[in-house]
């Protein structure tokens, strides 16, 4: 069965801390892995990763994919209260353009 | 550039009723996917429309149906509503050959 598992399910840290969120997957014919941030309703796109070992970076956020061990991590450095959100991981697989989603990691940043 | 829009924002229905949710994709996008998101869960794929046809379907019963119009906008219809259908319904648009999807603000459906 194709699946995407995120860990931890929730995380509480203080402003300024660095966090690492994990996404592991088991899918048929992996294509790409995507990270989204969901604050209230609409998930907003962060990164798409297709190749192993190539870090994608945007400000304080970065992500990398390991296709051998079938996982990705999302790092957030110098966290701010505005980083509080649910972070979702999704995987594109097979030759269709359907995404399978993890349950998300709820990140709470305390001032 | 208008992003993905959905209507209505909130909806309250009674068990057994039918509901129609609407989505307009981001400009330049031709593909619409619908998701159901229960509280504390990731989005669950319902189906995807491209060229006015259902291209992919997730594990949802036939009570869930959809339509895509020539202007790429889409509707999600749910018949014979159950309490378990209460959720946030998200619409996402994309270009058919790309994986990156852009989401609308969602419709919160409550079934009583």
Which of the four pLDDT bands, split at 50, 70 and 90, describes residue B99? Answer: confident
What mean pLDDT value characterizes chain B? 95
Dist. CA B59–CA B78, nearest whole Å: 14
pLDDT at B79 over 80: yes
Q: Is A100 on the interface with B (CB under 8 A)?
A: yes
Q: How far is B24 from chain A (nearest CA, A)?
A: 14
**Partner B, chain A 32-61, Cβ-Cβ below 8 Å:** 32, 34, 36, 41-45, 48
pLDDT, tens digit only, all 111 positions of chain A: 889 999 999 999 999 999 999 999 999 889 999 999 999 888 999 999 998 989 999 999 999 999 999 999 999 999 999 999 999 999 998 766 778 999 999 999 999
The closest of B102, B110, B86 to B1, measured between CA atoms, is B102
pLDDT at B1 over 80: no
What's the average model confidence in pLDDT over B85-110? 94
Picking from A42, A46, A94, A103 by the largest number of B CB atoms within 10 A of its own CB, the best residue to mutate is A42
Residue of A nearest to B56 (CA): A98
Contacts of A71 (CB under 8 A, 6+ apart): A22, A23, A24, A25, A65
Q: Is B73 on the interface with A (CB under 8 A)?
A: no
For residues A101 and A3, the answer to whether their CB atoms sit within 8 Å is: no
pLDDT at B19 over 80: yes
What's the average model confidence in pLDDT over B72-99? 95
């Amino acid at each position: 069965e194709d699946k995407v598992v995120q860990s931890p399910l929730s995380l509480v840290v203080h402003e300024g801390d660095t966090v690492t969120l994990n996404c592991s997957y088991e899918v048929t014919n992996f294509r790409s892995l995507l990270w989204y941030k969901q604050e209230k309703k609409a998930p907003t796109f962060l990164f798409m990763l297709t190749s192993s070992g190539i870090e994608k970076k945007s400000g304080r956020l970065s992500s990398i994919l390991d296709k051998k061990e079938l996982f990705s991590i999302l790092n957030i450095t110098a966290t701010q209260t505005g980083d509080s959100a649910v972070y979702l991981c999704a995987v594109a697989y097979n030759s269709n353009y359907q995404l399978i989603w993890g349950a998300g990691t709820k990140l709470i940043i305390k001032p | 550039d208008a992003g993905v829009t959905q209507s209505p924002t909130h909806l309250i229905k009674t068990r057994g009723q039918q509901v129609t949710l609407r989505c307009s994709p981001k400009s330049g996008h031709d593909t619409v996917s619908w998701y159901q998101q229960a509280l504390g869960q990731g989005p669950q794929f319902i189906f995807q429309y491209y060229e006015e046809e259902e291209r992919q379907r997730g594990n949802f019963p036939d009570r869930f149906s959809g339509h895509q119009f020539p202007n790429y906008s889409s509707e999600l219809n749910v018949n014979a509503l159950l309490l378990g259908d209460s959720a946030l319904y998200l619409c996402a648009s994309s270009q058919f050959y790309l994986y990156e999807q852009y989401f609308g603000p969602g419709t919160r459906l409550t079934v009583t």
